[in-house]
Chain A
Amino acid sequence: MCRRPPGLDGCRKGKQTAMGWTVPQSLEAEIDALVARYPVKRSASLMVLHALQRHFGWLSQQAIEWTAQKLGLQPIHIYELVTFYPMFRQEPVGRWQIKVCRTLSCWLAGSHELHRRLCERLGLDPHRQGPQTTADGRFTVEFVECLACCHTAPVVMINDDLWERVSLEQVESWLTRPEQLAASAPAQAS
């Protein structure tokens, strides 16, 4: 229950195989093209991390080291980004990553009830901070800050898709028939 001390140790969370972590050729080509766009290589770091996270679902220590090497940086330069920016993950996430907006307009429209219902139905702790994944690895639920769509509050993002004016019934429908969400799943979830 204690806060993990900062350090590269934090990257070793989650399951991963030390051997055989490779970036497929097509992805590497895509990343090379991304890097080439910038006048300074380091500028590409967020975009490279997005591309890796899109493919692997999260950013392992190997992903961090690989990115650093690609951009000619020390791993700490990448690690400090992964720990700062809320969108980057250091652990595997569920097949469906559910981000519920917790900020003012969505709260006024009942997003906290949505979050509680989601957590209770999935056996997660609604009071815990940070993303939580179900034991079966299907769902990750997380409270996030404003998603910039306050007129259709409450809003929820599931993988890349934004759902607006979400009701408790909608939540039930996701959980009973998650296949309706499949179209928005990342290319390769872990």
Chain B
Amino acid sequence: MRCRVKLESITLRNTGPFTDGVTVGPLADGLNVLTARNEAGKTTLLIAATRALFDRHNVSGDAMERLRPAGTSLAPDITVIFVTTEGRFKIHKTFLNSPLSELSEDRDGTWHAISDGDAADGKVLELIGGERSGRGASKAEHWGLLRYLWARQGETVDWPAWDDNAGARIRTGLAQVQIDPLVERLADQFRDMQAAQFTSTGRVAKNSPLQQAQQTCERLASELADVRSKMEEIENQSQQLMQLRDELLVRDREKTEADKQADALTETLKQVELLQKDLERFQSDFETAQERLNAVHNEKKTLDEAKAELDKAQKELAEHQSRQKHAQKEEQAAGQALTSLQNDARALRKRIESTRKRETRLHEIQGLRVTERDLETLRKQFTTVRNQQRNIDQLRRKRAALPDVSNRQVIKLEQIDQEIRDLGIRAEAVGLRVALTPKQDVTLVADRDDTEETLDIATGKTETIIATRVLRLHLPEWGDLQIASGAEEAAEIEQRIGARQSALEAELKKCGVTSIDSARTILEQLKDLDKEIKTAETRLVELLENRDDPQSLAADVEEHEAAIEKLRAHLDITKTETALSQAELKAELTVIRTALETEEAAWATLQDATETQSKRLEICGATRFETLTAVNEIKQRIASLTSRAATIEGRHTEGIDKAEESAQTAFVEAKAQLNVARKKMPPDWEKLEARHERALKSAGQAATEHQHLQQKTQRLEAFLEQSGSQGLYSRETRLQESLVSAETECKRIQDHALAARFLAGLIDYRKKAAVSTVLQPLEDQLSATFADITGIHNRRVFLDENLQVAGIGRKREETYAFDQLSQGAREQLLLALRAAVALELAKTGPQLLILDDVLVNTDATRQENVLDFIGNLAQHVQVLIVTCHGERYRGIGENIGIRPN
């Protein structure tokens, strides 16, 4: 495969910015870095080299015009020395003005021209694996492998499609994925076959032969079901007819039987009617005889009873007449006794009323005397109240005359006085004050104004020692310390005493006293007066006895005086009564009350006796009336009984006993005749009429049912007769036969369609599996390279069957698509892919990889990784890096420049 090339040098003149000649090279076999500033013509250099390699020398057009130095008509002159598997060659081309093409081959270090003109152009394409372009300048797709191995600045980072011959060669060469054309054709054929029957989702396609076949089957099955349903209905109707016919026979028998039964009953009924007339006559005779016998029996019984009752009534009459006389006597005696008692009662009543009046007068006199006594008491009480009121008024006046000194004021005066006295004491004591705070427990002797005292002071505690004039301290392990008094403090205290005294005086003046003692005395007096007033007021309240004020008491006195006056006028007391003492009055009242009680008791007794006597009189009267009524009733009864007996005896002149015997004989004879007639009647003759009616009804019903069944049978017969001629079995037969054919055809189509669908899927599946198998080494290499560059080793690059990057991820099913990657990652990934391609190609010949500032989006860390990788790559592939960032590639490879000739 002639597709391997390595550049050695490029020489330009009259091209782009290079009017004068420049040379790049010689390029090393490994890594070459061409560093130059922007606009220096790096890309122009590479484009010029591709023009020399891939374009015809006599081509023209804009692309070629752009090779001229700007604003000139100079002819671009380009020489490229390159190496292929065929050898070392030099192509020299001049474009536009005087087109020229010369191809030389290195033979033992000397260039030998091997062709020129079009032949040279063609030979070069052959050597480097390019494709002849059309009329114009070549395009990337004509550049063979260089299209894939020249990463050009400013171009998109997308990987080109493998859609040209070179791409196909790479695909084949790299992945060796060879899909059998036969299988491809078969797969297409199967796909077409299944697509004719199924949709992409596996459903039967609309209007497809399969659907039409299925619809035919469904239609036939539906028609078949319809015919079978009709046949089934006919079968059912036929069965029903059979049953109906059986039932009709039964009904027929039943109807005949019912008619017979009804006729027999009609005949029997006629005979019974004749017998029944005889029976009714005998029954009537029997009932008459029976009634006659019963009547005679009853009359005999009534006559006997009347006679017995008459005897009894006469005895009762005599007895009641005797009781009537006795009752009259008793009534007279009771009336006399009652009159006597009523007279006694009237006399006693008069006596009681007289005694009661006397008792009332004495009682009122006694009340008058009590009221008079109460009036006297009230008058005394009113006097005492009035005196007490005066006493209280006097005490209040006395209190009002004293200054109004309060207890609080006295306390305040005493406090000020105490302060003054304290200040005086302090003034006397003012002299020396020493504060001691030892670092350890200490015992010392203090001599205050010649008085010694031993003091124990604890560690850290401050002890203040005061003396009026002189203070001497005997400090252990140190010696004595004497301290004199101070006058300033004394003066301050004096001032404070003066102030407090002024305050005292002001306070005394405010209280209206001259001294504290006077204030205390007045305060005591005030307290005593308040106490007395309170006691007097309490006493006054007690004297008033629940009255609000003394005026109420005065009103009570006046009320009593008026009541006494009124009572005296009413009683008009006699002198004797006035002379009566209280005791005498009380004694007389007691006597009168006792007498009144005795009289009242006698009155009650008399009342009881009168009542008893009245009741007795009533009872006697009632008894008399009762006996009189009874006597009258018995007399009427006797008259009635006598009349009844006479009537009965009048009706039976022959005597009641003979009449009874005659009726008995007639009854026995009638009964015998009735029994004979009854025996002649058929059994249950009373029910015969009902039975006859029932039989007639039953026969009617049987006839109706029979007729109904007959009609139903006729309808069914008509239906079946009409149905039988429809030829349903033949229709079913034809439909079933058609259905079998249709189903067979439908199944055949379906099986073939399913077979095609399955086979198409199967081939796709196996094809993918094959691609996946052969892609794996390339994916391994690509993934390893990408991992080296990115430093991320736990992900893998996956390719699709077109050798496009399917995505990156841990699994094929879970990848990030190429489009989802960052610009930098995409650059790095494509670099890795180009490297993989170049490495693969380099196995069979020299290979060039051009990187024209393609890693502009790569960060510093990954840049280092890239350099490491490119370093390794350059051991197998000639790498030409073209960049304006020389610092990025410093220290690696051969640094080449654009050298003027």
Decide whether A and B assemble into one complex.
no
Q: Report A's interface with B, CB cutoff 8 A.
A: none
